[in-house]
Amino acid sequence: MKRYLYAALGLLAPILVWAGCFTLPPTQAPIYVNQFGYTTTGQKVAVLVDPQTGYNASVSYTPAATIQVRRRTDHANVFSAAPVAWNGGAEHTQSGDKAWWFDFSSVTTPGVYYLYDTLSSARSDVFTISNTVYTPILREAVRMLYYQRAGLAKGSPYIASKWADSAAFLGTGQDTEARSVTDQGNAGTAKDLRGGWFDAGDYNKYTVFAAYALQDLLLAYVQYPSIWTDDYNIPESGNGIPDVLDEAKWELDWLLKMQTATGDNSVLSKVAVTDTHGTSPPSSDTAARYWGAASTASTACSAGVFALGAIAFGLAGQTSYASTLETAAVNAWTWAQANPSVGYANTGFTNVNPEPSVNGRALCQLQAAAFLYGRTSGSTYKTYFEANYTSLAAVGNTYWFGFPPDVYGQQAVLYYSNLPGVTGSVKTAIQNSKTTGIGGSEFYAAVTGATDAYRAYMKDADYGNAGNNGGFGNNRIKAEIGNLFLEQIRYGLDTANATNYKNSAANYLHYLLGVNPNGIVYLSNMYALGATRSANEIWHSWFNDGTDWDNALTSTKGPPPGFLTGGANAGFTGTGLPTPPAGSQPKQKAYADFNTGSPQNSWEFTEPGIYYQAAFIHLLAHFVANP
């Protein structure tokens, strides 16, 4: 047996220093825990691994017969037990690892701990047990959206000076006077479309994608209203409105501009440069920006989040703004119903076309009907919804899953099913379908069958096929599968198994926060919040390769904290990649901490996105609200 000094992705794990006389054992083993920690009564299972296949196959580790939980302050052993071999000691194909599970759920006393191997004298990362352990993580995840704001100067006191930047895209020919991409020489097409969030690592703004992000974010507020505070240190903090809604309002206000700009209540599809460039920092980018025409999908999806926004802001007592959003929703719905087949071709742009499939367009209409009925109780929306809800694949064949755009339709039909006045048979059909679906081989059956050594199962194909984003963004799917489990609790379905659903969802959260074959927190630069190994590089035009913000550990500034990266991607298309992800890696190891451009295409692994972020926020919110 070799003692294993952990060097995930080529970086030696830092040895934490405690303000006391007790020093930590210096050697770490591949004993993977949530690097931030666990709630007091939550299930706590570490994954101990002996890599067999992939970039770290030379590592050898066999755990001791007994693993200890030690208190950080004095190294006292507070719990001991035997680790249990996963699947009788077989190699887990998706990770290339042999694994053992160590359950220490019985440790419930708040404090700081680590796991200790009595044979090798090696330890895990340090972690916290507390019912507020995820609160600062949620705050930082929401603050990511502040960094993504377009048209706003960012600086003190809201961020450290190293991330300060002047307002971007307010110059000549940019967002305050963006022209039609198909009539670029015509000044008469100029529209004021300032505001909104950068979509992802690029600075473009896409209506349908914005609606996806807003739906998760607004549902996180509607479902857990008590956890949101007004002190996230953004410009609106202290205004009496929870800061998560202030962030949502920044994006909703931009969507309202995208509707007003058309003059007929449709909603424009995008605002972007014509190509794929982006300069660092954003304020240095002087390229002209253009708008793309409205479509049925962009208008219907906007109608849905306008209505959901009205529900959320109404719940928060912001009646005037809620009314504004309701009016916008009704008007957008009316246009989309009158123009049900207007597509968007993306002519004039070489960057992403946000137009969903015909099925996605129909789901936008269904979402709009669900949330408009929730806001207004109007019979028009009920009639439409109940005539069309079975077109959602999940309802029709009981296969529920975490891919866009279907996941957003699924969220909408579940929301609708719990509203007053819904036809009983419709409610029953939706909720029975959901419970049947979650019991399938990819979900609850995978949990009961211990299918995944890392306890967060996703089928093979999903590590290389994430819907609208081609082959990347799989951490978003991890988060949405966690949300699929939580919806059983959110909607009171199969209550006898509520604890199992919660534990299952928590495992997807733990995967994102360290319990994965790379032993990494998939959020950027989270060291100040307790991470031992965090994503150091993200593919983002601002924080790109070679800039001052390139790497959290080696660059003069590094990227800000809290950006969720895309995650492992076995379906990558780049060439000349480092190892990993090159070198025939197991699917869960097909990830590297890098941010170079073409031909390596690091955006297929480390690019963030507002919709990834919102899915993670929605998942994490449950465990802040229900520790």
Task: Please give the angle made by the CA atoms of 303, 309 and 310, to the nearest 5 degrees.
Answer: 90
| Unique residue bearing structure tokens 């006191």 | 157
DSSP states of 252-307 = HHHHHHHHHTTSSS--EEEEE-SSS---SSGGG-----EEEEE-HHHHHHHHHHHH
Torsion of Cα atoms, 134 then 137 then 142 then 144, to 10°: -170
Which residues, including other chains, have CB under 8 Å from residue 595's CB and lie 6 or more apart? Answer: 537, 538, 539, 540, 543, 544, 545, 550, 602, 606
Q: In whole angstroms, what is the distance from residue 147 CA to residue 71 CA? A: 37
In this prediction, residue 466 carries a pLDDT of: 53
Q: Is 349 among the domain residues? A: no
Mean pLDDT of 556-577: 96
Q: Read off the tokens for 182.
A: 């198909």
Does the residue 69 lie in any domain?
yes
* pLDDT tens for each residue of 508-527: 999 999 999 999 999 999 99
What pLDDT is attached to residue 403? 84
pLDDT score at 9: 37
Q: Which amino acid is at 524?
A: S
Residue 71 counted as domain residue: yes
Q: Is residue 17 part of a domain?
A: yes
Strand spans (E) along 86-162: 91-92, 97-103, 111-117, 122-123, 127-129
- By three-state DSSP, how is residue 129 classified? strand
Torsion from C-alpha of 219, 221, 224, 225, nearest 10 degrees = -140
What is the Cα–Cα distance from 452 to 302, expressed in whole angstroms? 37
Query: Is pLDDT of 317 > 70?
Result: yes
Residue type for position 592: A
| DSSP codes, 521-570 | EEEET-GGGT-SSEE-----SSS-TTSTTS-TTTSSS-PPS-PBP----T
Q: How confident is the model at residue 471 (pLDDT cuts 50, 70, 90)?
A: low
pLDDT in tens, 405-418: 899 999 999 999 99
pLDDT tens across 255-313, in order? 999 999 999 999 999 999 999 999 999 999 999 999 999 999 999 999 999 999 999 99
Q: What are phi and psi of 428, to 5 degrees?
A: -65, -45
- Please write the tens of the pLDDT for every residue from 48-64: 999 999 999 999 999 99
Backbone dihedral angles phi then psi of residue 492, each to the nearest 5 degrees = 65, 40
Which pLDDT score is estimated for 20?
A: 40
In a domain, 97, yes or no: yes
CA-wise closest residue to 607 among 200, 198, 143, 196: 200
Number of domains present in the structure of the chain: 1
Give the closest residue to 239 by CA, choosing from 149, 134, 321: 321
pLDDT higher than threshold 50 for residue 10? no
Q: Is residue 580 part of a domain?
A: no
Give 260: exposed, middle or buried? Use CB within 10 Å, 0-12, 13-18, 19+: middle
Question: In the predicted model, what is the mean pLDDT of residues 348-375?
Answer: 96
Task: Decide if pLDDT at 320 tops 50.
Answer: yes
C-alpha–C-alpha distance, residues 530 and 171, integer Å:
40
pLDDT bracket for residue 7 (50, 70, 90): very low
Enclosing H/E stretch for 433 = helix 424-438
Q: State the burial class of residue 575 (Cβ atoms within 10 Å of its Cβ: 0-12, 13-18, 19+).
A: exposed
Domain interval for residue 63: 8-129
What is the identity of the amino acid at 408? Y
CATH of the domain at 36: 2.60.40.10
With vertex at residue 494, the alpha carbon angle to CA 488 and CA 498, rounded to the nearest 5 degrees, is 65
Question: Are 587 and 460 spatial neighbours (Cβ–Cβ below 8 Å)?
Answer: yes
Is 260 part of any domain? no
Q: Is the pLDDT of residue 539 over 60?
A: yes
**Residues 270/276/280/281 CA torsion (nearest 10 deg):** 0
- Tell me what pLDDT residue 23 has: 83
What pLDDT digit, counting tens, does each position of 108-135 carry? 999 999 999 999 999 999 999 999 999 9
Q: How confident is the model at residue 393 (pLDDT cuts 50, 70, 90)?
A: confident
pLDDT of amino acid 27? 77
pLDDT of residue 240 exceeding 90, the answer is: yes
Q: Which two structure tokens, joined as six digits, stand for 87? A: 């699947």
Name the percent of the chain lying above pLDDT 70. 95
| Of 505, 386, 460, 580, the residue nearest 92 (C-alpha) | 460
| pLDDT > 50? residue 568 | yes
**Residues whose CB is less than 8 angstroms from the CB of residue 584 and which lie 6 or more positions away in sequence, other chains included:** none
What pLDDT is recorded for position 11? 32
Model confidence at 173, in pLDDT bands (50, 70, 90)? very high
What pLDDT does residue 551 have? 98
The pLDDT, as a whole number, for residue 398 is 87
pTM for this model (two decimals): 0.96
CA distance 115 to 44: 12
Split at pLDDT 50, 70, 90, the class of 470 is: low
DSSP class of 467: G
Question: What type of residue sits at position 412?
Answer: A
Tell me the pLDDT tens digit for each residue of 477-518: 999 999 999 999 999 999 999 999 999 999 999 999 999 999
Give the pLDDT confidence score for residue 230 in this predicted structure. Answer: 98
Phi, psi of 438 (to 5 degrees): -70, -20
Beta bridge partners of 573: none
In a domain, 22, yes or no: yes
Q: What is the mean pLDDT of residues 188-201?
A: 98
DSSP 356-375: --HHHHHHHHHHHHHHHHHH
pLDDT at residue 16 greater than cutoff 50: no
Q: What is the pLDDT at residue 465? A: 60
Q: What is the pLDDT of residues 439-457, one digit of tens each?
A: 999 999 999 999 999 999 9
What pLDDT was estimated at residue 445? Answer: 96
For the cut 50, the answer to whether the pLDDT of residue 4 exceeds it is no
pLDDT at 154 over 50: yes
Does pLDDT of 18 surpass 50? no
Measured in degrees and rounded to the nearest 5, phi and psi for residue 439 equal -80, 0
